[in-house]
Structure 1
């Protein structure tokens, strides 16, 4: 473990455990690094065998938090490592639904290009297409069907 990773874990209260959940259950170190856009830390955690598909108290995985951040390289790295692209959180929402509903067309395109399933429905029976918040997202999702 590098001094940089040790410092990151200590700063965020993980006490050196690469798979520990934060006290509030919102993050693992991988999730926190993804949300902060820290590809360098993500790389180190993956190399040490961090749990790729751990889910937080809301049912979100590291990919969801990487989509929140929006860094394409980070998202692509998690996908290359095998993160579940179609993980559905506690409300049944996938990352594709999240980025479509938050009008992030660049991420809609990226996730579709990487194989995200546009037909998934959340617990309210809405798909990413139903949730699209912009015309660009809507057009990308219509094309994907």
Structure 2
């Protein structure tokens, strides 16, 4: 497994001695691993003291990236290891508003059950309920607000 992780670091230009640093493309290991649903790499990074609240160039955190990957395991791991669940990016959106707006029903449920704030508004005054794109997510969020 360690060989696989080391190969991944090399493939993405990650310096194994400076895991909090960016690669040549300006990407962090934490965000990349989260985008790819690589829970094994997230475990390695956490064990080596990587900042779980590192942001990408858009102000998104690793939880947002794990939502993109639709990886429940990565989302859970990040939340359990201190990644801020209610972080708002440059436009005020959270992982929950992103997941709701993209129809990621099972991720929305996981985030809400893990304590995501249903009432946070983005810069346009929209909440996750306002941005829900699927009926299951809309019904779930409505029920959760009652």
| TM-score normalised by L of structure 1 | 0.93
How far does the alpha carbon of each residue in 1:10-47 deviate from its partner, in whole angstroms, 9 at most, with x for none? Answer: 2111222211123443x310110111111111111110
- For 1:56, the equivalent position in structure 2 comes to 56
Which residues of structure 2 form unaligned runs of 5+?
A: none
For residues 23 and 59 of structure 1, the distance between their equivalents in structure 2, rounded to whole angstroms, comes to 19
Match of 1:70?
70
Structure 1: gaps of 5 or more residues? none
Determine the structure 2 residue equivalent to 1:114.
Answer: 114
Q: CA 1:24 to 1:123, structure 2 compared with 1: closer, same or farther past 3 Å?
A: farther
Q: Do 2:15 and 2:23's aligned partners in 1 also have CA atoms closer than 8 Å?
A: no
Q: Give, in whole Å, the separation in 2 of the partners of 1:102 and 1:32.
A: 20
| 1:104-125 Cα deviation digits (max 9, x unpaired) | 1111111000000010000111
2:23 maps to 1:22 = yes
Q: 1:127: how far off? A: 0.4
Instruction: State the Cα deviation string for residues 25-76 of structure 1 (Å, max 9, x = none).
Output: 3x31011011111111111111001110011110011110000011111111
Structure 1 SS opposite 2:80: helix
Distance in 1, Cα, partners of 2:141 & 2:135? 10
Cα distance in 2 for residues equivalent to 1:121 and 1:23: 34
Could you tell me the TM-score, scaled by structure 2's length? Answer: 0.92
Structure 1: distance between partners of 2:130 and 2:25 = 32
1:97 shift after superposition:
0.2
Q: How many residues align?
A: 143
- Alpha-carbon RMSD: 1.2
